[in-house]
Amino acid sequence: MRKIRDEILVLKESPLYAERVKNKVFPVIGEGSHDAKIMFIGEAPGKNEAATGRPFCGAAGKILDQLLTSVGIDRKDVYVTNIVKDRPPFNRDPLPDEMQIYGPFLDRQIDIIQPQVIAALGRFSMDYIMRKFGLAAELAPISQIHGQAFESKASYGPVMVIPLYHPAVAIYNQASKDTLTQDFQILKKYK
């Protein structure tokens, strides 16, 4: 993981590198247990995350922590990261070329941690992860497949892919927190 961090720190090929240097912020590599059964993958860091170098430490992170607590999972027992490791300006959606540049780092993180479950937080993460694990035929709008488990194979063995709404949706739409809470129940059997 240190090697991944060191490579990302000097990733000048990234269109987001100059933005990071200009704003004096940090890349967000990930945090949590390197032996985690469950890995949460978001899309890209936000302002608080870039300021601290920690994933999901702002408002969406508080919601993620509440959701984990609701199913009896301690955050220190999971691994939390994003596809894109640097903050896109103004929290815009990550662009395809940004996901392409950072994707191989995420792939290496998955190979190191070898999670049994990958919870894809948000539509960009869902799309990337489902394609990576040969589930493109199962892809549908996240509104149709959130909270469902899809079985696949990783280089290290079986893996379940579970698309979930990004916790940030509950910031803007309080009613969606009930849906997220219900969807997180599926994780109980994997903790």
Contact in structure between 128 and 143 (CB atoms under 8 Å):
no
User: Could you give the CA distance from residue 36 to residue 163 in angstroms, rounded to a whole number?
Assistant: 18
Is the pTM value of this prediction over 0.85? yes
Local structure of 104: helix, strand or coil = helix
Of the candidates 2, 96, 77, 70, the residue with the CA atom closest to the CA atom of residue 37 = 77
* Nearest Cα to Cα of residue 102 among 2, 16, 1: 16
Bridge partners for 159 per DSSP: 152
- Three-class secondary structure of residue 113 per DSSP: helix
Please report the pLDDT score of residue 44 as a whole number.
Answer: 97
Q: In the prediction, which pLDDT does 175 show?
A: 85
The pLDDT score that the predictor gives to residue 163 is 98
User: What's the mean pLDDT in 129-149?
Assistant: 97
Residue 91: per-residue pLDDT: 86
Q: What is the dihedral of CA 112, 115, 121, 123, to 10 degrees?
A: 80
| Tokens of residue 125, six digits | 């993460």
Q: How far apart are CA 169 and CA 125, in angstroms?
A: 14
* Torsion, CA 1, CA 161, CA 163, CA 135, rounded to 10: 110
Which residue type, as a one-letter code, is found at position 36?
A
**Dist CA 168 CA 116 (whole Å):** 24
Residue 82's DSSP bridge partners are 42
- 147-173 average pLDDT score: 96
Average pLDDT over residues 164-188: 94
pLDDT at 166: 96
More reliable by pLDDT, 91 or 65: 65
The string of pLDDT tens digits covering residues 66-123 is 999 999 999 999 999 999 999 999 889 999 999 999 999 999 999 999 999 999 999 9
Share of the chain above pLDDT 90, in %: 95
* CATH assignment at residue 69: 3.40.470.10
Tally of domains within the chain: 1
**In which domain, by residue range, is 40 found?**
2-190
Q: What pLDDT digit, counting tens, does each position of 11-60 carry?
A: 999 999 999 999 999 999 999 999 999 999 999 999 999 999 999 999 99
| Predicted local confidence at residue 172, as pLDDT | 87
- Cα distance between residue 124 and residue 44, in whole Å: 9
